[in-house]
Amino acid sequence: MRPQSSLFRPPLTLLALLIGLVGAMASLTIAHGANNGANNGANNGANNGIGATNSLSDKMGDKDLSAYATAIFAGGCFWCVEADFEKLDGVVEAVSGYSGGDLENPTYDQVSHTNSGHLEVAIIYYDPSVVSYRQLVNYFFHHIDPYDNRGQFCDKGPSYKTAVFVANDKERAIAKAVKTALEDQQGKDFYTPIRDRKTFWPAEDYHQDYYKKNPRRYGSYRAGCGRDARIRRIWGKH
């Protein structure tokens, strides 16, 4: 599991919890109304199916990504999926988040510690004139362990399972074709399912670009989790 110590997340004291609960109760009605307004605006915008639960001010700034195509992948720890895809030519942005479940406005704690139905995912904004959806799916499979049905690498649990989320029949056909070709090549079936795309909910700001903001901690986590070593054993050097 990803470390839950204060090295990665701010410690919560009993006093802080009590203050937080009082504040949350006092502002429940206001927050609920604000979230509903933000979500309606996001879901009726250019990128339908993207919730606006968390601020992405640090991640996105003034970027306008409405002209780009999107794809959603679940590959275990979203820090790593985001980092891997942002190295690929044609990908203009990758955003960590949650998808696959029905819970609206999910938080990291809800996804990690309750039966929310959500997986950790990344939404990939890409330029189809540079990189195709087929190439994205192929790249995704080469950066996960498709034989692990309990999670990914050192992270185990429902939220760390893998999936390719498809938006339409064309994407489904492409994803199936890529998956089948790789299964034939490897001589073994994959656990990774191809699922219908659902609303994407951005993760909290502190998760975005974690590999850039905290390179030493991220590097230690990734190495300790054995992600790259396992990928090399499955796929070889790439």
Residues with a catalytic annotation lie at: 77
What distance in Å separates the CA atoms of residue 85 and residue 75, rounded to the nearest whole number?
11
- The CA radius of gyration of the chain, in Å to the nearest whole number, is 18
Strand ranges (DSSP E) for 78-143? 91-99, 119-126
Its sign, for the CA torsion 204, 209, 211, 215, is: negative
Its sign, for the CA torsion 160, 162, 164, 165, is: negative
Strand ranges (DSSP E) for the chain? 69-75, 91-99, 119-126, 151-152, 155-156, 162-166, 194-196, 201-202
What distance in Å separates the CA atoms of residue 52 and residue 43, rounded to the nearest whole number?
8
Please report where in the chains the tokens 């656990």 appear, as a residue. 191
Q: Is 64 exposed, middle or buried (0-12, 13-18, 19+ CB in 10 A)?
A: exposed
Torsion angles phi and psi, residue 50, rounded to 5: -115, 115
Beta bridge partners of 72: 123, 165
Please report where in the chains the tokens 């659902």 appear, as a residue. 198
